[in-house]
């Protein structure tokens, strides 16, 4: 499972059972941390997820910015409540790539860029492992 954690939304993506292809699944509208984590754990349980990849939004120079610190704190809290291992992955430009893909597809009616960004994060991880 891949997560793109933002202030207002969390993009969620899943891979196929063989860990080859990532696909956007859903967008979780942020409510509060407890509800957000409960939603993620529900998806993990429903889909028998074995690993969670969370995008870490580093600055272009590689440093951790304020949003990256928020994501790290959220990920630590998620890890305390989930039995599934979690890995952080540099997500620089994943949302930009997602928006380009959507623009190329001329899919301007549905704004699912965060779920697509989560799929890009997860796909990058899957590609490195195979």
Q: Give me the half-sphere count of Cα atoms (radius 13 Å) on the Cβ side of residue 87.
A: 12
Give the C-alpha distances (Å, rounded to integers) separating 83 from 1, 12, 20, 48, 86: 14, 18, 23, 11, 9
Percent of the chain clearing pLDDT 90 (strictly above): 52
Mean pLDDT of 20-24: 89
Mean pLDDT of 6-19: 92
Mean pLDDT of 34-61: 93
Q: What pTM did the predictor assign?
A: 0.75
Provide the mean pLDDT of the chain.
86
The class that CATH gives domain 2-129 is alpha beta
> What residue ranges do the domains of the chain occupy?
2-129
pLDDT at 116 over 90: no
């Amino acid at each position: 499972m891949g997560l793109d954690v933002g202030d207002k939304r969390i993009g969620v993506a899943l891979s196929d059972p063989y860990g080859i292809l990532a696909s956007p699944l859903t967008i979780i509208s942020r409510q509060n941390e407890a509800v957000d984590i409960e939603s993620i754990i529900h998806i993990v349980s429903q889909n028998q997820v074995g690993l969670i990849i969370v995008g870490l939004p580093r600055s272009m120079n590689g440093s951790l910015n304020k949003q990256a610190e928020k994501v790290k704190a959220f990920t630590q809290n998620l890890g305390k409540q989930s039995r599934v291992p979690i890995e952080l992955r540099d997500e620089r430009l994943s949302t930009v790539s997602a928006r380009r893909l959507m623009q190329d597809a001329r899919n301007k009616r549905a704004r699912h860029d965060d779920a697509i960004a989560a799929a890009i994060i997860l796909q990058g991880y899957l590609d490195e492992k195979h």
